Amino acid sequence: MARVALVTGGMGGLGEAICIKMAALGYQVVTTYSPGNTKAQDWLASMESQGYKFKAYPCDVSDYDSAVACINKIAEEIGPVDVLVNNAGITRDMTFKKMDKVNWDAVMKTNLDSVFNMTKPVCDGMLERGWGRIINISSVNGQKGAFGQTNYSAAKAGMHGFTKALALEVARKGVTVNTISPGYIGTKMVMAIPSEVLESKIIPQIPMGRLGKPEEVAGLVAYLASDEAAFLTGANIAINGGQHMH
């Protein structure tokens, strides 16, 4: 039986690259999409035309009941989740002076509460089976901070605190928990930054002088999900072109 890999937010640039990589390695790939996303079926069709038979389920990752219902449906229809990639995330950037409670809460719920909401329903099954991989996609800005991102940086740093604590609890049972902290990757989210800001402010901070590729992060996810990575847990792996060395 192929292992089941669930990638939240799998229809974005990074999520899609992770889905494709995991499928290429023989995983049964499942992703989630926001219940209001009208383009989910188009994405599935376009992936299928490239030979990828992904399954997708509506799920509000910021809502615990929605997450539990989604995981239960996946378990019934496909099988229990062996690899969970907590990738779903949003930004609501503004200075702290301008930040209101609504934009703080939105980012904390989608980027941090979601990690609890999705991990809780799959973790016990992983422990019972004696094998599991939980991979949390954080950010370089959770490690070093970023102007205008108190909400995002707090949520992304919180992910790694969760990783370390849970890794301690499940280490003896064959389940690993790790964080990946990508730098600036050429996804839609990053490409939405005005090009003059990218060229003048961001790329000069990256010693490699370029944005990362989604496939490069997907390769790291694939390694952490593998049997070879069984001794690696509680780590935060930076993949940022040398922008921040921690």
Q: How far is CA 107 from CA 89, 149, 192, 220, 226, in A?
A: 8, 10, 18, 25, 30
Burial 107-131 (b: 16+ CB within 10 A, else e): bbbbbbbbbebbbebbbeebbeeeb
Bridge partners (DSSP) of residue 146 are none
| Structural element, H or E, at residue 236 | strand 236-239
Section 128-134 average pLDDT: 98
Mean pLDDT of the chain: 96
Burial bucket for residue 240 (CB in 10 Å: 0-12, 13-18, 19+): buried
Q: Per-residue pLDDT for 189 more than 80? A: no
Both tokens of 222, joined, read 């694939």
224 neighbors 163 (Cβ within 8 angstroms): no
Give the pLDDT confidence of 206-246 residue by residue, as tens digits: 999 999 999 999 999 999 999 999 999 999 999 999 999 97
The residues carrying an active-site annotation are: 152
Instruction: From 118, 154, 109, select the one nearest 136 (Cα to Cα).
Output: 118
Give the pLDDT confidence of 138-153 residue by residue, as tens digits: 999 999 999 999 999 9
Q: Per-residue pLDDT for 108 more than 90? A: yes
Give the pLDDT confidence of 33-44 residue by residue, as tens digits: 999 898 999 999
83 neighbors 132 (Cβ within 8 angstroms): yes
Domain map (residue ranges) of the chain: 4-187+214-239
pLDDT-derived band at 61 (thresholds 50, 70, 90) equals: very high
DSSP 96-160: TTT--HHHHHHHHIIIIIHHHHHHHHHHHHHHHHT-EEEEEE--HHHHH--TT-HHHHHHHHHHH
Burial 169-203 (b: 16+ CB within 10 A, else e): ebeeeebbbbbbbbbbbbbeebeeeeeeebeeeeb
3 state DSSP class of 161: helix
241 φ/ψ sector (left φ>0, alpha ψ -120 to 50, else beta):
left
Class of the CATH-defined domain 4-187+214-239: alpha beta
pLDDT value at residue 246: 79
